[in-house]
Amino acid sequence: MAAPEINLDDYSVYSHLSDEELLQIAVERSLSEKHPPPDVDQSTSSSSSSSSSSSSSAPPAPAVPFGSTPNLRQRHPDPPRPLNYVPLSQPPPPDHLHHCPKPPTGLSQFPYEAPRRQLSLLQSLIINGDSEALMALVEQRSSHMEPDDEGWIALHEAAFYGQLPCVTVLLRAHPDSVNIWTLKKQTALLLAAGRGNVSCVDFLLKNGADPNIGNKDQETPLFAACEQPNEDIVDLLLRSGAQVNRSSIQGGSALHEACRHGQLMLCRMLLEAGADIHARDIYGIQPFFIAAQHGYSNIIHLFAKKGADINGQAGDGASPLFEACKNGHVSAVDVLLFLKADANTSMKSGLLPLHVAVQNNHSQIVLMLIPVTSRVRIQHSGISPLHIAAENNRDDIMELLIESGFDVNIKLSEDRSKMYEDRRSTAVYFSVCNGNLEATEMLLEAGADPNLDVFKPLLIAVQLGRMDMATLLLRYGANVNTQISPQPSWFPVAILLRMESLPMLKLLLDNGCDARPCFDCPYGQKRHPAVRPSRRPIEEMRVSRDAPPQRCIQFCEAVSSSSFCLAAGPIISMLLDYVGHVRLCSRLLEVLESRSGWVPIKLKALPPHPLMQLCRLEIRRLVGVQRLKLIQTLPLPMRLIRFLHYDITAASPEVPCYEEVAP
């Protein structure tokens, strides 16, 4: 609806006044409206105020007296660009910067605060909607055509604040200013459209505003009206010749924005006006993709009827179904599967919708995808959903996958395994690394083999000092004598990793760890060469196939290092209980002779060895470690079972004295 005609001659009474006098009138009028005199009846003031506000069809802007210091960031905010989907090569900015008109530079992480300044007389009149005083000022001088430091003229201010009477005054005075740009190439029409000022948009269009002029980002008023959704403004723009398929500098169209905000009616209006349903932005994203990404099922239905590409992929291969699964939109996933969306369309990285649903812990979506996901395509991807569930501690989803028949022993592809420094390959390894005892037990009970990885999960448990995890793995057949290639030590790696922990060391020895190589020294009673500076034993293990350890470590060399100066005696004493006829090398003798309390340990290694110990070792060798775990099920005396299981008690914290229990 057009604004009423305003006769410029009616305001000639102000023509003889100076700027200072005009300013005084504006200030007094503003103050009298805000604070009526005490003797004025409040009802009269209210009615006067209501009649004044009714002169404008646009919502009144808050009055700001001249001389105040409003925050200009609120006046001219850059419209936010909520890019919810950006390829990995172009990460989105941090959330706290999305709505900041001037993001911080690399020198500061604090949001930019624009400098405050005083409003001019012109701005004060416009913000307060004082069209009469504005008319007098316009007639007196042409300052309203002078741009400020942001390139804004008075018309931009009036359009932004939705002051239709002011817009009318300014356009009547200078009709050719209707399409003038700010420094950001914003027209008055674009500003009014972005603010939802319907009456101003209508008036500007009827007075020559071009609906197809874009800003510096090539965003037109139609784009702005969809970004800040307003059906009335979109209708006005379309009827005034707005080009529906104009795209922004990022390739997004008005239809993209309408989908982003879930505006079904706007989508209908744009499609009826000829919007391209297959338009792609610079990331290869179509409007249908955005609707699926945000879970707008009603728009998905609409676009499917209009022939949208249900499986249209973005530049990195993501499909609409992939995005809906990633964001947990159950209803959208249900609709897409009903429309026969392909659950086996993968990203360029090879990941499928099922992978991302597991990763983001959307169990209901996982249940929907399992029946329609090809196991062959999963194998080609190089990674199983079980790997992802184990890596992210998704125990409930892991249980679903196991119950659905996923192979618990499937290994990562070579390429994916190389992404990890330790070359892990099984789901069990992920769970052990996370210290997730429940998930590890779940996998082992389902038949997972704990010995498939290059660096065995048992070694991880030992390295972490997790007795419970190591016990669980040993119960399910973990190889306690495992080595890695290339071999970093002549004795079992598990001993090297945690021999300072006597409980862990005993657990390993009880479960068949071979202690004899610890006493096989090539130098024997001869003088040993000086120990070369090296990494700690634990650091020797943190090497990949491409970087072999510096040298092969001897037990006598490891236990005589400064790291084990206090525990060397008890370690050697415990190992001697699990071997028969061995001789201590000259370096081990030096270690035991370094402390007076360790002399009994030195004597313990000398022959003759107790017959009972030799018998126990031979029985354990003949029975085998795995069958020894079941021996308690036989009708044997408990004392015999305890004897074979090394059920001993440490009497001293420094030198354990083992109390053997014989039958």
- What pLDDT score was predicted for residue 433? 96
Q: Is the pLDDT at 83 greater than 80, yes or no?
A: no
| 196 — pLDDT class (breaks 50, 70, 90) | very high
HEC string of 182-239 equals: CCCCCCHHHHHHHCCCHHHHHHHHHCCCCCCCCCCCCCCHHHHHHHCCCHHHHHHHHH
pLDDT tens profile 261-310: 999 999 999 999 999 999 999 999 999 999 999 999 999 999 999 999 99
pLDDT tens profile 401-457: 999 999 999 999 999 999 999 999 999 999 999 999 999 999 999 999 999 999 999
pLDDT tens profile 606-634: 888 888 888 988 888 888 888 887 887 88
Q: Is the pLDDT at 97 greater than 70, yes or no?
A: no
**Closest to 271 in 3D by CA, of 294, 249, 287:** 287
Taking a C-beta distance cutoff of 8 angstroms, is the pair 321, 339 a contact?
A: no
**Closest to 341 in 3D by CA, of 328, 326, 322, 363:** 322
Fold of 1-37+54-68+117-212: 1.25.40
Token duo for residue 611: 């017959």
Query: For the chain, what are the domain ranges?
Result: 1-37+54-68+117-212, 480-644
pLDDT tens profile 549-600: 456 788 888 888 877 778 899 999 999 999 988 889 999 998 998 888 898 8
How far apart CA 63 and CA 69 sit, in angstroms, is: 12
**Terminal alpha carbon distance of the chain:** 107
Instruction: At 553, give phi and psi (nearest 5°).
Output: -90, 135
pTM of the model: 0.76
- What pLDDT score was predicted for residue 122? 82
508-to-467, 478, 659 alpha-carbon distances in Å: 10, 11, 19
Q: Is the pLDDT at 398 greater than 80, yes or no?
A: yes
Taking a C-beta distance cutoff of 8 angstroms, is the pair 208, 42 a contact?
A: no
Would the CA dihedral through 155, 157, 158, 159 be positive or negative? positive
- What pLDDT score was predicted for residue 118? 67
How far apart CA 64 and CA 67 sit, in angstroms, is: 9
Give start and end residues of each alpha helix (H) in 360-492.
Answer: 363-369, 375-381, 385-391, 395-403, 414-417, 427-433, 437-445, 457-464, 467-475
